[in-house]
Structure 1
């Protein structure tokens, strides 16, 4: 070691290099300088270890910065994909974003034609020659087949040399022609529908890390939602165009024909200009001559234009069922018009027109019905676009929630990500794990996204279960609300475990595990279709909890008895202990208490009034005995602490 140098001076210099993000060569030069200055082998080994750790830390920070940059780019992409493109333009946006996210040479999108066994290229980006729009990619081999079979991204660092998967000669020829090495395929799926694959490729050998796979998987999810939205938008445009054509042929009055065309044009302009439900409802109210009410698929009011009169909800439910079943406008007994807002086969909501709306257009029944259907179709389009935008943002919110559930990252970084997304994590939250016992999980996921958004919460999907984190302090009440609404939406029972509240970000992962344990316990106890929290599971919940609250268990089990004893100076708790100790014999209990058996009987009657008539049922009786033992143990511990404190003072 050079003279005058402190033992850890070089290590301090390592930290300074790390702080100013110095080049790797400067770290190596510091070790060489120490060796040239005559440092011993121990000192050299210590410096080498410090150098390696410093470079590892720098690499870790670089990966995290890269991941945050990727997530930021993904948010920008999500916003970009919500714009009203046509399908070809949208696919060009997707391929360009995919190529730029990973800094690769090429990207392309294919759509499956299962009946032909081929997946056709619909858009490509980068310097390509062999991969052009219309090129047929065989579905029997290559990385695309692996991604489709696994329903997950599949990649290879060097395609032609990789023998771990089945090759296809036409694909191999294209790879050679383009000079490609690294290749990744990501499946495009919308719920249970396989749309195609998204590919990214580079002309150098490259290994993809888990963060890059996650990033591309999220992009593919966003792209699938945007593609489906755009297809439905094109479908609505075609239907509207067809409706205009059919209407123009059927109309006998040129004035009516002009009016219907103007309606179509104005409403489509509202959608394309991003006016949303308020603008659409206002425009529809003017065109239809009366107040308009828009409801979602669950029957909840979304927006009202004007003063909408009170409705007989039972009557409206019957009329709505007829409207959605027959896919046509119907009137309720009270005169309100109910029109289904649908896209394809999916019911998105309902448009209601108040009784007494303008009547001159109703003289031609066919024209009036077409007018109502057109307004409802455009309403469905707006609902679909809003849901797609929410789904895009939801991908990023889901990433945050998954990290909270797994405890990934520091509390400060998680809080900052939450702040950027407008998620308030400062107050108490409860965690809910809901398992549908039938029905489509995709439908349950859509419901959960809407429900979490309405309540300013977060949602995720883990192992076939919906996981929700919602603001609140009553976990049991929140679980029952989720069970009621989700089971109604699915038409199947839902089993729900819950825990909380939790106020600390670092405690969310543990609270989730408690809720999961409650769900498993409920299943093991034959409670499928029910709800349970640690408090509701009684002593079993106490065992499942990461932070058992014995005081709460005692109060919830025998609290009324203890309170009565304290207020009336009675001995009901002592009578309970004697009763259980004597195997449920009032006579023997009276002997141990030195009172008359009638006294014990009266005390037991009072206990039944306080605890309810079922306190002697086996399950509740067990909890009462456990609570009594815990209370006795707590008293003994408190007495001992008091005695010890007295001795210390003395």
Structure 2
């Protein structure tokens, strides 16, 4: 018996095959062992085979556990969710030595959906969805328990669905085992292994897959958390960048607000606004009037392009900010009144998207508002100063000149040197008198002059300027506001009010006579001075006396017409216009030749016989022309 046991122990120690355990029994029969001895040897052999099976199962279990721990360690090393899921199904296929393995994840609204596969050949199987309670996988997800089948299609334990059965049959799968991936009491998915032959999965396979699923669930959860953390960190970084950008915008806005406030408080101008906004926004800034002329620019040497001009016109048409890319413009508004526009050119530093963000747009619009305030203030000051200057000019023209000391003080307050010589301009302007008056005030203010509306005409005086240059300034300055040709009479320069109190009045009278002469002679739209009128000009000049001259040469004839209602003056004009031809004169007057002869005889009796002599004839003709102008 001891020899028999030793023989079997030796076979166990040598890891002999199952067939080798028949050796001791054959040797005992060959040696003629009794029945009792053979029975005892057979019993020892069965015990040895049981020990052998147990050892083999333990070795297999140890290998499975080692593989399981290795799988768990590998899963713990992975941080990417996709890599974790793929590693799970690969390990499941290896551990169970199955044909395929796959994993579904839980969708709370639509059940389980196929996430990753290993060994699957058909696209239909990869896109299969498994509702809760349907099929083997749906039952596992619903009950949170493992299930297996040796042959799925005919197995009536499960609720079958045509699309799922079709996918299983199309893949050729017969045996399936599925175990839940559990996190506490929550099913996050199902892990499957399957074979294309009918082969049951035992309890050991089920336990092994359950163990793998437990590690897999933890790995999936960890990978999910890591991905969520990464996503949260990425989102936080984006939010941080947005906050930083927002802070930069707020800081720029605060800086702009401080600068603009300081400009207003310290009495700055539009130029200061333009420079400050250009520095804050890092771009060229231009303020334009309604005619597109530049009021102020941060880059005076750079003209406004055609495209920039079009953008400014569009902003005015829309009465809001307009533009795109590098160029924007916003209207300069005082209530509903448009005063101009503010243009923002290309940035000195490129922005990510190139567009004007909301913060910078608000800075631009706030700067336009401050610009409107400054323009209104400047206009109000100009209007107030214009009124004061106009009142002083009106006093000077009325001959009520204040005493020199008062006049000097008023000039000092207006920053005007009233001792300088002045050119005097009188303009006949059609159209809106109020608008023309405002334009005249602006022209005078920009040249240190004075303007007033007097007797329906615009009167301006300019220091240190000759008559023609002053007249051309007025024609150009009033052209747009008048909307029609501007006719101007100009005189001077005459001594200033402090130097000769009545000189401005004389210059005004001369300029008025020149304007009257221009209108009579059909010279509308021109600048007319005494020098332009020849002999007429000599008599219209500030030292001439045209009325006295007319009286001395034509007084009796004029008085006779006034007393008798005759037409001697008219006859004389027609007579000289017809080159002293009696017939043509009569035709022009629509009278008989005898009537013309009788009238001329009456003129001879009134003026004397020598009035048709060449020298006196010229004087009479000049007196006729002056009479027409003076009248």
State whether TM-score is above 0.5.
no
TM-score by length of 1: 0.41
TM-score by length of 2: 0.42
